[in-house]
Each structure stands twice: as structure tokens, then as C-alpha cells.
Amino acid sequence: MIISEIGFIGAGLMGAPMAANLLRAGFRVTVHTRTRARAQPLLDAGAAWADTPAACAASAGVVITIVSDTPDVQQVLFGPSGAAGGAQPNTIFIDMSTISASATRAMAQELLELGMAMLDAPVSGGVQGAVDGTLSIMVGGDAAVLERARPVLEAMGRTIVHCGPNGQGQMTKLCNQVAVAVHMIAAAEAIVLGTKAGLDPAALIKAIGGGAAGSWAINVLGPRMAEHDFAPGFMVKLLQKDLRLVMQAGSELSAPLPGAALAHQLYAALEAGDRGDEGTQALISVYEALAGIAGTES
């Protein structure tokens, strides 16, 4: 069955451009978000508005959720006027948030009992990847359901990987966040050491970014660190939410995660300074403070 109608719940920094790409791909999109004004550009581009998650799901073959945290997903799916109560049998729910893997498995089972299917499909690639439609999408769930939904995902991402049954997309994303956070530590330390040594940060980043040290943190966020441009592509408070999920998973699996734990504490220093809404590259200011370098906050 060809999927043509999409219900889309959440229109934040990531969700809004993802929904816009679905519209450009020719899907009919109905959107719901807590603040209608945030969805206005999508409505101007041809999306329909739904007052509730249930109404958003009513005629959709696929319902996509991308909201902040586990309780938010549970609320929009199963709360009062929740999407699961308004959807038709055989609807595919695709949660593209980053949330608890165990909660995801429980929600998938509940939807299955209602005659529906769920994919957990968190993403990586930042706001620019969402805008460009080049996200990496990590999918947990039934492989046959993924194939039915693949054209929808291909409108938003370039790399779509089936990671296993429900919950394994979320576990893959948590592994991604471990790598992201530890790479951010490495980038910040390298740039601060170079600054203390009198190196030009731009030259340093160019030199090491082309070799074995190259990474998203160095090549993309390194220049923003050096320029003290802390506008968010991905906010500190959202990475911290993800790192809490990482530490919970590590505890449940008896997997030591000392690098992720260090990142979690260093980012806590930013949150303590009321900087949770800044971009994750603001981590460099913590290292500058430790090194006695006078930085410039954005």
C-alpha cells in the first residue's frame, strides 16, 4: 500500500525542516505541535493543521513523532486525545525522538496490540542535515514495516540503517551520542591546548581536521568553538537528556562509560551557568575557564 498521508507531531528545530522535506517530496502532511505558531511556516507551505494528536493521526498512513523526551512521546501517543486513539488499524508510528529504549519497546507492544506498528527511528546530522534531507536514520522495528515506510524516511534522510527489533534504533542513537559527546571533549581540549600554545585556532583546525583527528566536532563545530559562536544546532540541555539515557543504559547493561560520564559532568557545568539553550560547542568555554583563558560568550 502506497503511503501518501503523513501525520507529523512536533515542529522544533529538527522536526520543522523534516516535515518541510516531506511536503517537498509530495506527501500530504497534517501537523500538530504544542504551539501552533511554530508550525505556521509549514502551514504556509501547504500542511494542514490538527488541534490534537488524535486528529493528526486520523487519516494518516504514517504518524511521525519528534518531541523532546520519553514522557512527551508517551503523552502524544497514549494521553488524552492521543494519536493512538485517533489512528486507523495498520497505521505505522515512527518515533524519531531520542528516548528510552525500554519505554520504546513497551510502546511498540501496546501499539501492536491495537493492530498498529511502530518503528523507533532517531536521527543524527543536526539541523543542517534536517534542512538538507541528509540525516542518518537508525531504525528499530520489523524489517517489513521499515520497507513499507522507507519512502517516507528517504524524504528526510540519506543513510537509513535497520538496527534490529524495536528499541535497537534508540540504543544505536545512544551509542551515537556517546561518540558525539566524547568527540566534543577531544575537540575542545585540542583547541584550548593550541590556544594556550599560541597557535592560530583556524590553522590548527584545518591542519588536524584533514587527518586522523578529523571529525564532525573538529571540522564542523571546531570553527564555531574558535569563534565563540554558540548558537544552537543541538542544544546542551538536549544532549544532557540523551546522556542521562546513556548512563541509565550503561547501568542496566553493566557497561562502564567513563568518557560519557565525564562529558555529562562537563556539560552540567554549562547548565549550572544557565546555558542549557546554547549549542553543544559551548563546551569549549568550560575548558577555557579551567585553563584560565578569557573567552567570549555568545
Q: Which amino acid is at 150?
A: R
In angstroms, rounded to a whole number, what is the distance separating the alpha carbons of residues 182 and 84? 37
Predicted confidence band at 294 (pLDDT cuts at 50, 70, 90)?
confident
Report pTM: 0.92
**Side chain identity, residue 113:** E
Q: Is 173 a catalytic residue?
A: yes
- How many Cβ atoms sit within 10 Å of the Cβ of residue 198? 6
Clarify whether residues 248 and 157 are in a common domain.
Answer: no
Distances (CA, A) of 192 to 55, 199, 289: 51, 10, 10
Query: Does one domain contain both 160 and 270?
Result: no
In the predicted model, what is the mean pLDDT of residues 227-252? 95
Q: Is the dihedral of CA 66, 101, 279, 240 positive or negative?
A: positive
What whole-number percentage of the chain has pLDDT above 70? Answer: 98
pLDDT tens-digit map of 71-104: 999 999 999 999 999 999 999 999 999 999 999 9
Say whether both 143 and 57 belong to one domain: yes
Structural domains in the chain (count): 2
Is the per-residue pLDDT at 1 higher than 80? no
Residue indicated by cell numbers 515512527? 94
User: Average of pLDDT values for 217-239?
Assistant: 95
Does residue 297 form part of some domain?
no
CATH of the domain at 255: 1.10.1040.10
Query: Of 173, 196, 206, 237, which residue is the catalytic one?
Result: 173
Domain region containing 85: 5-164
